[in-house]
Structure 1
Amino acid sequence: MPQTTAHTIAIVQVLQIVQGVQRNGMDVPAILRRAGIAPALLDAPLSRVTQAQYAALIRVLRRVCRDELWGLCRHPLPVGSFAQACRTMLPCRTLGEALQAGLRFYRLVLRDFAPRLQVVDGVARIAMVSLRERDAPLAYAERSFCFLGYGVMSWLVSRRIELTGVCAPAGASMPYGTEAQRLFLAPLQRDRDFTGLEFDARWLELPVVQTPESLAEFLDQAAMGLVIRYRDRTRLGERIRRLLRRDLAGELPSLEQVGAALSMTPQTLRRRLRDEGLGFQSLKDDLRRDAAIELLNRPELTLADIAARVGFAEASTFHRAFKGWTGLPPGAYRQAQHRGR
């Protein structure tokens, strides 16, 4: 079993990304099956998919829609736009110059919104300016553009750029807002008139360090990896997750034991986790849930095997916990996944 367990993705993300094909009358269950996702999971609001499944869904949507924003906009984003934007940015000297060049290119090919880089009082802002009334699919397209753009920004300078805000228009529906905050480790600001990201303008001065050779490798990566790759592994929640992962099949260490391993008092540990919007018990539950979801995709493992591997002595206890995490018993979850293939 791997030494790390990847974070899983809430089913609401799947519901959001298929809005376009659903509106266009395409066969959503067939598309999900091609990505290895059981359509029945859409009816289980607590269910989740693996990163590999979500990345496969992005590839399938791109292929069937011939659109790099997956049918979410009224006008498709031509396939190849992302690669061309990256090539446009690569020769630039600094991140600021690269963003100006890349966003200028996108403004030529996007017809539903216009991405712009703005700098005000030392704060850099990547803002999506809607060119028509913003409906739910367009809103998700704008957010997706921001998230993918963040991955490109971090890749260009080979640094995880620290955001100061994830911006959304007042009244915008962001059902996965908490997950976005945890991923970007920045407050969600719902009082803006645009969708976008904010960060210290000094990041714009960093040099572009990538090459044509590294670009070829970068373009081969799954789109979801653009964001996940730059998850801040130095943050306390990620450090604890890695530490807990070592003992997942046994009795997980207590808060006091984790604190001692990290040279922190329990009080400091709790406070710093709270600052990241996390709790110690939720970290343990999320790790076990994510590991179980990965293992359920391995048909050679029985449910009892999986229960033991994620630290449950009794299969019945594991069944109850898994249903609490995802809304489905593990057997039903596995059957749904099997039917989805």
Structure 2
Amino acid sequence: MHIVATPAHRHPVPGMPRSIAAPGPVLAGSAGTVMAAPVAAPAPARHTIAIHHVQQILLGAHRLGCDIEALLRRAAISPALLASSSARVTQDQYAALIRTLRRITRDELWGLLSRPVPPGVFAQAANAMIHCTTLEEAIQAGLRQYRLHIGDFTPRLHRSEDGRTISLRLHAHAPASPCQVFAESTFVFHAYGLINWLVARRVPLSSVDLSARPPTGQTDTERVFNTSVRYGQPCTALHLDAAWLRLPVMQDATGLGEFLRDAPHKLLVRYRDNGCLAERIRLHLRSHLDDELPSLEQMAQMLRLTPQTLRRRLRDEGRGYQNIKDSLRRDVAIGMLERSGLTLQQVALRLGFSEPSTFHRAFKKWTGVAPGEYRQRGMQLASAEG
């Protein structure tokens, strides 16, 4: 059971447009027409995770001299995938790797910092935050907990001179190593997920600054934060409208235990922005995968938009229509290869490919690995673990 934000739980924020605080995803037509979400639709395919994030999360384990291949095998991830910059893993695999790293390193940041963050600190912070009245009070309480355990950087809230913007900034005490840079990214990722959970809704960010260099391979950072991300910044930070900090804390001790069992790897999945246009299109396409997927022009007609407007809106979200179709097919294919007993030909047909060879070429383009090889590696790992 997941904690969800119901309409009764969503509080309009004073001074903000009503549309921001209104619950539920909608699609706007060309004349401002609001179209309700379909009553019944298949669950959207779960997003997979770029191998770049796997490589980064292992930096601390490398530094500590851990057996990387053994760690990956416990998470059912083929070590060979690390060699392909376009490879992907499932959310379950990534979550299993997080659990394994936490257990092996006895560190909630997996050996990335100069001293470990003891298991239980996240729970202590969450417990302190649920007893606060407003989101601002809760964030301050959580940061006080972490400042007791992290010496490489200091997390603090800053208000802009005009009082309209709040920034959660991580002030590094020395030039950051690659391990610390990823630890900073992880810290703000977890902080943002915790913020969303506390108020039982997704709080929109105005922008994100990361001290990390721009990644060379695929990354999911922009999609996760659903805002523009600036790399190579002097300070890692989350920026948001100060009005959101007046939201009341909605959680209490009753749901804390269940929340902690899922956290932190499901924090942002729970409050993913299904209202953005790209996610709404992905949901619609999910129900038509075994047919010929609609063209951009056909999709625009369904949404009562012109093709030019659809392209522009997707471009504003940093997406393209073909990219949405390819990523959906890729994620569904990986899920089928991981969990189902379907043959490769059946998988190809269910994804709308008339020929298995076409699916083979597409999958290798998406992930750097042929579908048969991807499944075989997974079976070998499962057999070895069994």
**Given the two structures, how large is their TM-score scaled by the length of structure 1?**
0.96
Identify the match of residue 288 of structure 2 among 244, 247, 250.
247
Tell which deviates more after alignment, 104-113 or 94-103: 104-113
CA contact (8 A) 2:49 2:220 kept: no
Are 1:150 and 2:178 counterparts?
A: no
Are positions 1:167 and 2:209 aligned together?
yes
User: 1:214 and 2:262 equivalent?
Assistant: no
Name which of 348, 365, 372 aligns with 1:331.
Answer: 372
Give 3-state SS (helix, strand or coil) of 2:185's partner.
Answer: helix
Residue matched to 2:114: 74
Check conservation: 2:198, 2:249, Cα contact below 8 A. yes
2:243 counterpart (193, 196, 202):
202
Q: From the superposition, tell whether residues 138 and 191 of structure 1 become closer, same or farther in structure 2 (CA, over 3 Å).
A: closer
Structure 2: how far apart are the matches of 1:165 and 1:244?
Answer: 29
> Structure 2 residue aligned with 1:272, among 292, 299, 313?
313
How big is each residue's C-alpha offset from its partner over 1:291-313, in whole Å with a ceiling of 9 and x where there is no partner?
A: 00111113521111111111111
Give the structure 2 partner of residue 192 of structure 1. 233
Q: Which amino acid aligns with 2:94?
A: Y
Question: Could you say which residue in structure 2 is the equivalent of 1:3?
Answer: 43
SS in 2 for 1:127: strand
1:178, CA displacement in angstroms? 5.7
What SS is found at the alignment partner of 2:189? helix
> Could you tell me which of 140, 145, 158 is aligned with 1:100?
140
Q: Which moved more, 1:203-212 or 1:129-138?
A: 129-138
Q: Where does structure 1 lack aligned partners over 5 or more consecutive residues? A: none
Identify the residue that residue 256 of structure 1 maps to in structure 2.
297
Distance 2:267 2:216 in 1: 21
Flag as ranges the 4+ runs of structure 1 deviating above 6 A.
none
> Structure 2 counterpart of 1:20, which letter?
G
Is contact 2:85–2:218 with CA below 8 Å preserved after alignment?
Answer: no
Measured in 2, the distance between the counterparts of 1:2 and 1:74 equals: 45
**Structure 2 partner of 1:237:** 278
Residue deviations 1:115-164 (CA, integer Å, cap 9, x gap): 11111132111111113330001100110010011000011111211111
Residue 284 (str. 1) matches residue 325 (str. 2): yes
Write the mapping of 1:11-160 to structure 2, written as runs, cut at 5 A.
11-120=51-160, 121=162, 122-160=164-202
For residues 231 and 206 of structure 1, the distance between their equivalents in structure 2, rounded to whole angstroms, comes to 19
**CA-atom RMSD in angstroms:** 1.6
Q: Distance in 1 between matches of 2:102 and 2:333?
A: 29
Q: Percent identity?
A: 51
Residue in 1 that maps onto 2:34: none
Give me the whole-angstrom Cα distance separating, in 2, the residues matched to 1:22 and 1:323. Answer: 28
For this pair of structures, how many residues does the alignment match? 340
Structure 2 unaligned blocks of 5 or more:
1-40
Residues of 2 paired with 1:124 and 1:135: CA distance? Answer: 27
More off after superposition, 308-317 vs 220-229: 220-229
The C-alpha deviation readout for 1:56-81, integer Å capped at 9, x for no partner, is: 11111001110000111120000000
Whole-Å separation in 1 of the counterparts to 2:297 and 2:334:
28
Q: Deviations over 1:7-55 (max 9, x none)?
A: 1100010000001111111101101110111111111111000111111
1:294 aligns with 335
Whole-Å Cα distance in 1 between the matches of residues 355 and 234 of structure 2? 51
Structure 1, residues 312-338: CA drift from partner, whole Å, max 9, x if none? 111000000001111111011112222
Query: What residue is the counterpart of 2:19 in the other structure?
Result: none
Superposed CA deviations along residues 180-215 of structure 1, whole A, max 9, x for unmatched, are: 122222112236321111111111111001111121
* Residue in structure 1 matched with residue 31 of structure 2 by the alignment: none
Q: Does 1:322 align with 2:369?
A: no
Quote the Cα distance in structure 1 between the aligned partners of 2:311 and 2:366: 22
Query: How many Å separate the matches in 2 of 1:197 and 1:235?
Result: 20
Distance in 1 between residues matched to 2:219 and 2:98, nearest whole Å: 22
Note closer, same or farther for the CA distance 1:36–1:179 as it changes in structure 2 (3 Å cut).
same
